[in-house]
């Protein structure tokens, strides 16, 4: 197989290999198989690639980023497994294949999600060369905060409560900054602490700019999702097209209109790139990711 020269694709291949090696088959086998099914062999790996891209921007040693990249993907995969459950979004298709509760059963899907979540923190708690104990605690805290009641879980709760209701644009933004944006921002901030120079004044100033970048692309990711839910098709998306509309969920096109949603998408893209203006070529992959998010078709 010919290997890609595209940095984004190379990091995608790298994280697939790491996840494959971390999530070994063990007893009970059916649970391990469900975990591997839920996370391997698909997905854009945006969050893991963001970890590596941020590391590039900060000139961080590659090996120190692997645990953070794998952990964020485990956390994301757990959230998808649980979001797809009948008691949540009740989806049958994810990444072009049956969702975990369809491929296995509902109880196994719940356990697989639980195990992926805790495995993420288990991995992050293991000592890593090049990351001091203080920074390791900061990384753990960033992921815990982003995934819990002040982050992703909060966003999902707002999402469920908003079904069939009319909400404002600001309320929709709050929902998505938590449900989708929190983990994207965590990807960047976690990587910023995988560096021995992370406590300097320069590093803190860079972290503020990187956080602004991540907030913008996190929201842009969801705006584009809302647009694609209307303008794409099931085969391209790898999940049911029109699912949000059918479920009565508020989206940017439904609240502000398609034209305004597209304008918001490009404004967020510009804001993300502006946040990186003080970085040189070392942040080019971050810029490419911002481009990919607004131009993606799935």
* Strand (E) or helix (H) holding 297: none
| pLDDT at site 3 | 43
Burial 195-215 (b: 16+ CB within 10 A, else e): beebeeeeeeebbebbebbbb
pLDDT tens digits, 180-216: 999 999 999 999 999 877 677 788 999 999 999 999 9
Q: Which residue has the tokens 């945006």?
A: 46
Q: Which residues of the chain have pLDDT under 50?
A: 1-3
The number of C-alpha atoms within 13 Å of 191 and in the hemisphere containing its C-beta is 32
| pLDDT at site 2 | 40
72 closest CA partner among 96, 99, 50, 41 = 50
pLDDT tens digits, 4-35: 568 889 999 999 999 999 999 988 999 999 99
Question: How far is CA 114 from each of CA 108, 209, 265, rounded to the nearest angstrom?
Answer: 10, 33, 33
| pLDDT at site 1 | 34
Cβ atoms of 20 and 41 within 8 Å: the answer is no
Q: Please tell me the distance from the alpha carbon of residue 106 to that of residue 91, in angstroms, as a whole number.
A: 12
- Which domains are seen in the chain, by residue range? 7-295 (1.10.600.10)
Q: Give the predicted TM-score (pTM) of the model.
A: 0.93
Annotate 161-178 with DSSP letters as a single string: HHTTS---HHHHHHHHHH
Residues in CB range of 158: below 8 A, 6 or more apart: 171, 174, 175, 178, 179
Q: Which residue has the tokens 């291949």?
A: 13
């Amino acid at each position: 197989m010919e290997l890609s020269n595209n940095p984004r694709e190379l990091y995608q291949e790298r994280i697939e290999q790491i996840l494959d090696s971390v999530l070994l088959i063990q007893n009970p086998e059916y649970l391990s198989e469900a975990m591997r099914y839920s996370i391997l062999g698909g997905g854009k790996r945006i969050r893991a690639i963001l970890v590596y891209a941020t590391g590039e921007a900060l000139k961080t040693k590659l090996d120190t980023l692997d645990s953070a990249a794998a952990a964020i993907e485990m956390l994301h995969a757990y959230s998808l497994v649980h979001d797809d459950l009948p008691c949540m979004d009740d989806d049958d298709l994810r990444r072009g294949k049956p969702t975990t509760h369809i491929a296995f059963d509902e109880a196994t899907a719940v356990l697989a999600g639980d195990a992926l979540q805790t495995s993420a923190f288990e991995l992050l708690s293991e000592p890593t060369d090049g990351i001091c104990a203080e920074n390791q605690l900061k990384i753990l805290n960033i992921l815990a905060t982003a995934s819990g009641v002040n982050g992703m879980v909060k966003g999902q709760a707002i999402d469920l409560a908003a079904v069939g209701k009319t909400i404002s644009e600001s309320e929709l933004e709050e929902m998505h900054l938590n449900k989708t944006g929190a983990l994207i921002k965590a990807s960047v901030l976690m990587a910023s602490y995988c560096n021995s120079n992370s406590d300097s004044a320069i590093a803190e100033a860079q972290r503020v700019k990187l956080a602004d970048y991540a907030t913008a692309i996190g929201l842009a990711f969801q705006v584009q999702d809302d647009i694609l839910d209307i303008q794409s098709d099931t085969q391209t998306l790898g999940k049911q097209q029109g699912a949000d509309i059918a479920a009565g969920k508020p989206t940017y096109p439904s609240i502000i209109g398609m034209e305004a949603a597209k304008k918001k998408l490009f404004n967020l893209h510009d804001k993300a790139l502006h946040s990186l203006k003080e970085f040189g070529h070392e942040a080019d992959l971050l810029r490419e990711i911002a481009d990919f998010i607004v131009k993606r078709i799935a």
